[in-house]
């Protein structure tokens, strides 16, 4: 394949990637978006394999076979509830790939037309440095995010005195080693810079609590894109530059949307340590009066309503309750009940987590609405059914300026005529504060595993 034909192929692949992102903006077109992205990637891989610079295919096909087999195995076995961990793990691999490619370019610059070892031009060293720093932070930060999401180290922020000063010192050291590396081209400074960046990724994610994981996931997604784009400049690969920039910019926009959904800035997320599971309120929580009910009570209420709004949260994902919810949806629809779903931007452990689970269960897209579209309808709703959500339904976010979540946009379920709240206990959410909704006169608490409680409600309705 001639260089001109390779360039045209890369252009076509880039266009398909852009169309893929456009398709992923809506659940209705998401499948088509995925197919367009797959087509673009196939074109990019084939064009790269047929380019004149590729002369040895053994290692390439070996890597494709191993990577493809692992990816297929994971895709067949992964459950929807574990997607956040999977995404964090994949982000880490993109970051690590950026560091490894930069290392290869440093030690074998003649292969990429960058000069000779020890005599690489400064512009290439700058590009190499940026890709390495962002890639290393993405790798180690994503690994820590994975361990938090998997529950290996717990979801609470891990804080110690002087942590922010230490992170600041490491950031300055990374910049200093980068300057030395660009000026001297010596490989020792490259590895010092990479090592510090790996450590910085660990230290920057450890203080972040479970409540901020949706922002962390989208932020690391953005970092992985910028790392790939930086290495694209080093290799003079236009496709890598474009696709990396697409991933980086879309991840940055998504991070902004997540922060807006929490009424917090990105710096607040990175430095705030939000997400302590607050234990101080637990001592007096049980003393406050609540209205606890049974599945039969909930079924009686649902048998006599005209409208229902379901608010899913991470508790639904943990209990794998989405299919039971879909069955409840079908039963209520058959009774001519107007039933819809209200999705908060930061519900779950990754952006769109609840949308993915409901789509898996077959809930119609038109009945799944975002916060801005449905919040004004709660006051005219007979029953709001909250399933494992917590902070995103806490009315204190609107009323108490001293609360850590004050100003955060929340779903106004407290304005419904009745609230059915399925939860294992009265424990606070990731923000570590009590949910005032538990104690409202119009709230009935249904304690237990979400799937079992919904199944019991279905039996009572039958």
Q: Are 408 and 253 in contact (CB under 8 A)?
A: no
Q: Which residue has the tokens 């309503």?
A: 305
Is residue 391 part of the annotated active site? The answer reads yes
Q: Pick the catalytic residue from 391, 414, 434, 456.
A: 391
| Catalytic residue annotation | 391
């Amino acid at each position: 394949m001639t260089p001109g034909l390779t360039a045209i192929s890369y252009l076509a692949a880039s266009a398909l990637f852009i169309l893929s992102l456009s398709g992923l903006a809506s659940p209705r077109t998401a499948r088509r978006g995925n197919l367009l992205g797959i087509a673009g990637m196939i074109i990019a891989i084939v064009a790269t394999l047929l380019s004149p610079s590729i002369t040895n295919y053994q290692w390439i096909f070996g890597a494709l076979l191993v990577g493809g087999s692992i990816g297929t195995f994971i895709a067949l076995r992964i459950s929807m509830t574990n997607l956040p961990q999977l995404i964090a793990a994949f982000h880490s691999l993109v970051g690590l790939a950026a560091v490894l490619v930069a290392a290869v370019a440093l030690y074998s610059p003649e292969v990429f037309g960058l000069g000779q070892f020890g005599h690489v031009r400064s512009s290439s060293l700058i590009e190499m440095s940026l890709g390495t720093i962002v890639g290393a932070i993405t790798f180690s930060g994503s690994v820590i995010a994975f361990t938090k999401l998997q529950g290996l180290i717990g979801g609470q922020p891990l804080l110690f005195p002087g942590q922010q000063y230490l992170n600041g010192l490491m950031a300055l050291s990374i910049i200093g080693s980068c300057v030395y590396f660009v000026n001297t081209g010596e490989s020792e400074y490259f590895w010092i810079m990479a090592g510090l960046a790996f450590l910085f990724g660990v230290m920057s994610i450890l203080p972040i609590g479970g409540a901020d994981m949706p922002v962390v996931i989208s932020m690391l997604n953005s970092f992985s894109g910028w790392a790939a784009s930086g290495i694209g400049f080093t290799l003079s690969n236009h496709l890598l530059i474009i696709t990396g920039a697409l991933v980086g910019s879309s991840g940055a926009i998504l991070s902004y949307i997540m922060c807006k959904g929490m009424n917090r800035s990105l710096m607040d997320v990175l430095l705030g340590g939000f997400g302590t599971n607050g234990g101080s309120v637990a001592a007096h929580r049980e003393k406050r009066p609540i209205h606890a009910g049974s599945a039969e009570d909930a079924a009686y209420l649902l048998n006599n309503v005209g409208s229902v709004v379901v608010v899913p949260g991470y508790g639904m994902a943990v209990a794998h309750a989405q299919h039971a919810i879909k069955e409840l949806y079908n039963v209520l629809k058959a009774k001519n009940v107007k039933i819809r779903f209200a999705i908060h931007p930061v519900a779950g452990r990754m952006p769109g987590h609840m949308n993915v689970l409901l789509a898996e269960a077959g809930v119609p897209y038109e009945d799944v609405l975002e916060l801005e579209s449905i919040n004004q309808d709660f006051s005219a709703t007979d029953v709001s059914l909250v399933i494992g959500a917590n902070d995103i339904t806490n009315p204190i976010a609107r009323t108490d300026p001293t609360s850590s979540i004050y100003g955060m946009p929340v779903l106004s379920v407290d304005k419904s005529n009745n609230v059915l709240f399925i939860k294992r206990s009265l424990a606070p959410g990731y923000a570590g504060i009590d949910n005032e909704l538990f104690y409202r006169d119009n709230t009935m608490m249904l304690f237990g595993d979400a799937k079992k409680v919904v199944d019991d409600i279905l039996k009572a309705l039958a």
